[in-house]
């Protein structure tokens, strides 16, 4: 990409980010984009958390690691709800 950005796959969709982007920034973007989803709203009301789980290149990432991980070209991020409550 000629140094202007990097492509990262998030749940099978390609997204461009500036070099040096941390996983924490992507987590923030995903949480903001999904805050009005019914499952997210329900979990937030019941537990105070959205319970999103993030997987980077097939490895579960703990929340305390988000700030220390710098994304690289071609990384694959998946996010899931570990449960839907009920």
Task: Give the per-residue pLDDT at 18.
Answer: 96
User: Which segments within 18-73 are labelled E, that is strand?
Assistant: 53-56, 59-61
pTM value is 0.84
- Which token pair is 10? 């998030």
CB 35 within 8 A of CB 84: no
Task: Give the per-residue pLDDT at 82.
Answer: 75
Task: Give the per-residue pLDDT at 1.
Answer: 36
- CATH number (3.30.70, 1.10.3470, 3.40.640, 3.10.20) of 6-74 reads 3.10.20
Q: Cβ neighbours of residue 76 under 8 Å, at least 6 residues apart?
A: 8, 9, 56, 57, 58
The pLDDT of residue 26 is above 80: yes
- pLDDT tens-digit readout, 34-71: 999 998 898 889 999 898 999 999 999 999 999 999 99
């Amino acid at each position: 990409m000629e140094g202007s950005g990097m492509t990262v796959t998030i749940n099978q969709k390609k997204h461009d980010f500036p070099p040096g982007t941390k996983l924490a920034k992507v987590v923030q973007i995903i949480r903001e984009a999904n805050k009005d989803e019914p499952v997210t709203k329900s979990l937030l009301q019941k537990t105070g958390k959205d319970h999103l789980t993030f997987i980077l290149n097939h490895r579960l990432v703990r929340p305390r690691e988000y700030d220390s991980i710098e994304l690289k070209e071609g990384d694959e991020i998946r996010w899931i709800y570990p449960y839907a409550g009920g």
